[in-house]
């Protein structure tokens, strides 16, 4: 049995309050498979601890990389570095609850993805990106789901 002595630091308890739509936004922004809940949970927990200089608008990969794939690679690199730096664990019972309760509707993903692409195009960041095709595939899935629901 482990005894706690007063001269030992007590473990810190950290409470994170996160937006409900955070996983779907990150999936849409960075072209992450919405079923990859391990990656999305890593992002949810670690993003707020990424080096602040990286998170300045002029440095955010999503707003300055020519493709979403390049932005995703850089962003996930920052997430992994942060997770390692602070020895954060995202594979535990609390995070499993988030994984179980996170749902992504194809129409919601399609609309958010299209919004990201539109923003990248209007700001001149994105010229021609292969992930545009993925966004249109999400949109088609959303349209199909809507039509199926209407026919039911």
Sequence ranges of the domains in the chain: 22-151
Q: How many CB atoms lie within 10 A of CB 112?
A: 20
Higher-confidence residue of 11 and 86: namely 86
Would you say residue 107 has pLDDT above 60? yes
Q: What is the mean pLDDT of the chain?
A: 83
Band (pLDDT 50/70/90 cuts) for residue 31 is: very high
Band (pLDDT 50/70/90 cuts) for residue 130 is: low
Band (pLDDT 50/70/90 cuts) for residue 128 is: low
Summarize pLDDT for 67-98 with one digit per residue, the tens: 899 999 999 999 999 999 999 888 888 888 88
Would you say residue 111 has pLDDT above 60? yes
Higher-confidence residue of 36 and 2: namely 36
138-148 mean pLDDT: 76
End-to-end CA distance of the chain: 60
Would you say residue 53 has pLDDT above 60? yes
Band (pLDDT 50/70/90 cuts) for residue 1 is: very low
């Amino acid at each position: 049995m482990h005894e706690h002595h007063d001269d030992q630091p007590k473990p810190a308890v950290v409470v994170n309050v996160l937006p409900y739509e955070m996983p779907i936004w990150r999936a849409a922004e960075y072209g992450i498979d919405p079923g990859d809940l391990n990656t999305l949970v890593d992002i949810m927990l670690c993003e707020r601890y990424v080096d602040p200089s990286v998170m300045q608008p002029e440095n955010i990969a999503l707003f300055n990389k020519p493709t979403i794939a390049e932005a995703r690679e850089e962003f996930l690199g920052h997430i992994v570095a942060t997770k390692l730096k602070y020895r954060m664990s995202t594979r535990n019972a609390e995070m499993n609850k988030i994984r179980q309760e996170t749902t992504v509707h194809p129409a919601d993903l399609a609309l958010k993805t299209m919004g990201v692409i539109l923003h990248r195009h209007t700001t001149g960041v994105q010229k021609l990106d292969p992930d545009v095709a993925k966004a249109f595939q999400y949109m088609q899935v959303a349209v199909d789901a809507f039509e199926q629901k209407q026919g039911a």
